[in-house]
Chain A
């Protein structure tokens, strides 16, 4: 019931907005944003972009209130959703900790007639969401693989994996698929947990084990930094480049400055939370269909386009 009433209200608001711009200002909408707390670089970036976008949206659309809540784990995120619904939100933008734990809590919010936008990690029941904004992990692996195929053409590559998860699996399988039929050979793979120290350790061992490595797929910018330090210490000249991923500002800066070892990067932008928030606001303030799935491309960052990916104020 409430849902229909809300939609009617929203529709009325839209018409009002179309006829007289001044009336649009009287519309009051609250968007709740629930995201993981900053526990590592990428989620740190999510928190930063969510807060920046909240400010920007409130300025753009008078009458819009954006409430950002961060949670350290899945259970607390479920509680945070309760708190948000208590504040009578019209829409919820949620980046769930994990699909299993949060599907039901988000469904509860949905039952109250709230508009639901899910980001990055999907829920078990996709019918809950009105909008889904997703990163593209298979594409992330493919773009990286294509870069090796095009730029290295042939040679030996070592691969760094993150933490054993679906995300990691999708990236690595598609990376290897993209290499098929080229002269580029993956000679070794190892988990380094998206962690600098672990990547440093594993790279030292790879250097001891393999006398000739032509390039490294770090698959993550944090790991790339550890790898670079190990290569520098080993004084190895055979490695032509290291390809990271995610788009950490330090690495994008290096690409921008034309660092020979870091000629490119692959984006997996934490700013996708901003995309989700803008589209959700559009649902209430723009006269356009918004429901649907938005897949954010994993893009190759090179010297030419690096400045579009550079956020010097972000912690990530």
Chain B
């Protein structure tokens, strides 16, 4: 709990973070930036869980535990995505989204 800041302000911030992530996922031209946008979405959920736990249900730790697991899984996901991007870079020397379009429709 932070004195002077209510749950509404924090949830507004996380919602904005979530939609920045969605926007970035759709508009970014670089695969790494797309990956960063996914991280933004996941971090918005992590903050959501912790805040809801702290402000609304402080007697149980479910939300905090959940957020720790999300962080761990997100790390695994990023590692896998980066390794696939590196493998792609070895073949086409590019990490641009427009270069991954040989399969369409």
A and B held together in a complex:
no
Taking beta carbons and an 8 Å cutoff, which residues of B are in contact with A? none
Which positions in A face B, CB cutoff 8 Å? none
